[in-house]
Chain A
């Protein structure tokens, strides 16, 4: 992936929007310095400002959107730390460290095939808009379990999105890997020049990467991991890549599919 300049810092950022979007929670905060330099696929470490010691640590959130001096993230409330984040009210402050991580490599020219699963769609929205803005051919497929999650696909504003749910309550009743096969088949010989951008649950990402390989397409994968520091200090957020453990925070979160080892 590309080399990113050393420009992360910790900011106290006022929350200007906090609302549920189906199963998720959209939070926008003022962070002009981050918004000015953030690239698709990068993330921020966020927690509510203040001395409270529980939850103790910030949570990594992929940057979902950047608008003027606003940064937006999409939180899935799954554990104590993420549930507390969704309690934010307009006017509250978040402690935000970022931007962090390498981000996606945008230098390719073939069709960009974006594949998202669940809340993994969040950072792909910024990616899709950026690539479309550069005139690149972009195809988007998003998969969800059910409708309450799939309604968040409305957050993809700049590109058309194919949606599927496992129970058929919104979009096609299918797994996103089925949509991906149709997309790559539809591309014909251009599929081998296509590049996948994948973010979602492990099994979904693995299926997408295997499909890409069958069609000869490259893939970039954004992984999620339990993180403490976000800056490469704690060595906690490792994934298996290139025959060794690598930190998702400062050697990722985006990896080439070929170097990741799936477990």
Chain B
């Protein structure tokens, strides 16, 4: 049986359902290092660059990374060049990619989401916006505003008012009930939800017994969090009518199938890009093969099968 890998995410037409998670694949940096021609053979069906904020952020002190059991703890601290430099330096080059561009934005105050969204609204290179609401928030003493339903709704509403583009809100799992946050985002105008961001955690250096990360605590990603992510995708997609981008510990074609069956419309690969920056190429081939074996004609046919 012929498999048609094409997928839709709102108005975005995707060659297949696999995209990258923000902050795990830098096409401009990779293009300077890797022999592969990424601007011709881009491995993902859409590209999500690293999150940008209104002002440049230096990021957290090292160590920023620590590997844990089947997982990676990070505290990068949203290091980025700021949205103005992103628009001036990166956007023209990213516009040459053969796939839709999903810009990821964050702000330290809720009204910053509106300002960032407004700055990108007129840019044709940008197909959609993803709000990273796990940024440390000044109104919450540095806690992520994504932990608070009212601030989540406020940030989403301000971005919604500033742009007609497809609006994705990326939820943090570090809450008591992620459905409350999902509803708050959708009621405030989100078109789509990314589920999930990293899980709060920490690690100690086994020799010094001091915190392994410079920032003490960080976000856990990788296969260790896949069950957490799968549950969140399942609960949210069963309850709400917006498409969900599933992410958290995806390393294989089988993981993609599981996230689709749990209710995701598209699936993002994150930390696994660090094992192999071009993993998506073989993963998508294997996905097509698996769908053929299982008589699945399109990814859409599988979405929510586990419900």
Contact = CB atoms under 8 A, between A and B. Distances in A.
B64 interface: yes
Contacts of A51: 251-252
B22 to A, nearest CB: 11
In this complex, the member of A8, A47, A56, A227 whose beta carbon has the largest number of chain B beta carbons within 10 angstroms is A56
Given A228-B274, A229-B273, A244-B58, A53 B63 contact: no
B117 interface: no
A232 B30 contact: yes
> Which secondary structure characterizes the binding site on chain B?
loop
Interface in B247-274: 251-252, 271, 273-274
Interface in A233-263: 233-239, 244-245, 250
B33 A226 contact: no
Interface in B187-232: 222-223
B92 to A, nearest CB: 19
Nearest to B66: A226
A53 B67 CA distance: 11
Interface in A198-233: 225-229, 231-233
Contacts of A8: 33-35
Contacts of B277: 10, 97, 229, 231, 233
Nearest to A98: B33
Contact of B273 (A47, A227, A233): A233
A250 B26 CA distance: 12
In this complex, the member of B24, B35, B65, B76 whose beta carbon has the largest number of chain A beta carbons within 10 angstroms is B65
Contacts of A97: 276-277
A156 to B, nearest CB: 29
A191 to B, nearest CB: 33
Given A53-B70, A56-B71, A238-B64, A232 B33 contact: yes
Interface residues of A, number: 35
A47 B272 CA distance: 13
Contact of A57 (B25, B29, B58, B67): B67
B85 interface: no
B278 interface: yes
Given A236-B76, A238-B64, A57 B274 contact: yes
A233 B274 contact: yes
B295 interface: no
A56 B271 contact: yes
A47 B65 contact: no
A80 B66 CA distance: 12
B67 A233 contact: no
B223 A56 contact: yes
A235 B69 CA distance: 21
A169 interface: no
Contact of A234 (B74, B252, B276): B74
Contacts of A226: 62-66
Interface in B1-57: 23-26, 29-36, 50
Contacts of A95: 275-276
Contacts of B23: 233-235
5 closest A-B pairs by CB: A232-B29, A236-B65, A233-B26, A228-B274, A54-B70
Interface of A: 6-10, 47, 51, 53-58, 80-81, 95, 97, 100, 225-229, 231-239, 244-245, 250
13 contacts: A10-B276, A53-B222, A57-B274, A225-B62, A226-B66, A227-B65, A232-B32, A233-B26, A234-B65, A235-B23, A236-B64, A236-B65, A250-B29
